[in-house]
Amino acid sequence: MNSSSGTGLNNEKKNRRVTVPCSDPELGSFSGGCYYKVASPQPPAGDPAWKGHKPDDGKVYQVTCPMGTPGLDAVGLQWMAQPPGAAAVSPAQLAQQAVDKMTLRGPQIGIAPKPGGKGVVGMPVWMWAGKSTETYGPNTASASAGGTTVTATAKVSKVVWKLGDGSTVTCTTAGTPYKASYGKKASPDCGHRYTQASSTTSSGKYHVTATATWTIDWQGGGQNGQLTEIRNSAVDITIAEVQVLN
């Protein structure tokens, strides 16, 4: 009888569960048997608590393990790339975060004749895109989480020009900026000729739209991939009929 009673007590001890609050104002949030609270102030750069990481790469937490979690100190500092218990971030998600850090704009339109000037029916029109980090690339940014860093590089792979007269020209280069010394030559890589005057349109001008396709290659975390972003810009130009003098 005494033996039976002792067995019952042992089972009661085995089934007994210790509950702890999910958060504590002094200890922080509870996760995996320990409390985590962002250390304040954060240790200075180069402190061993960073384990070789930089202060802008994650945070150092004050860790308290009241239940003596195996493998963890009862009290100490621990660097973490993301808050404890946070959902894992995939390399593809980090790639999108890197893209979100970039400033990708529509083409910086260069065109001859210039807006405000006047071209002539049948004469060459030159189109080009100004090359800068934000309007043509390359544009590079990185994002990190959980010890994984993904780097993305964006470049414009093509510019599609809608000339306002129903014509579309696709240029896989930035185009060549026009110089007065070129005279009446046609653009070698990105040009057009109008067959009608812009006076035939309701506005009296041709609305020219340049749409850039940004191709973004990324790699990190043992993976790689490609993303695409679209941006556009527009200008209005005037094309007149050839004036014949008698």
Which of 49, 80, 111 corresponds to the end of one domain? Answer: 80
Give residue-wise pLDDT tens across range 179-204.
999 999 999 999 999 999 999 999 99
Give residue-wise pLDDT tens across range 44-79.
998 998 888 888 778 899 888 876 555 544 668 888
Residue 246 is assigned to a structural domain of this protein:
no
Range in 6-15, 16-25, 69-78, 141-150 the model is least confident about: 6-15
Residue of 26, 48, 51 whose CA lies nearest to 36: 26
SS (HEC) of 40-83: CCCCCCCCHHHCCCCCCCCEEEEEECCCCCCCCCCEEEEEECCC
Domain assignment of residue 33, given as a range? 2-80
Residues 116 and 45 in one domain: no
Check if the beta carbon of residue 56 is closer than 8 Å to that of residue 50: no
Count how many domains the chain has.
2
Cα torsion through 197, 202, 204, 207, rounded to 10: -90
More confident residue, 217 or 30: 217
Check if the beta carbon of residue 126 is closer than 8 Å to that of residue 175: yes
Which of 80, 100, 132 corresponds to the end of one domain? Answer: 80
More confident residue, 9 or 215: 215
Model pTM score? 0.67
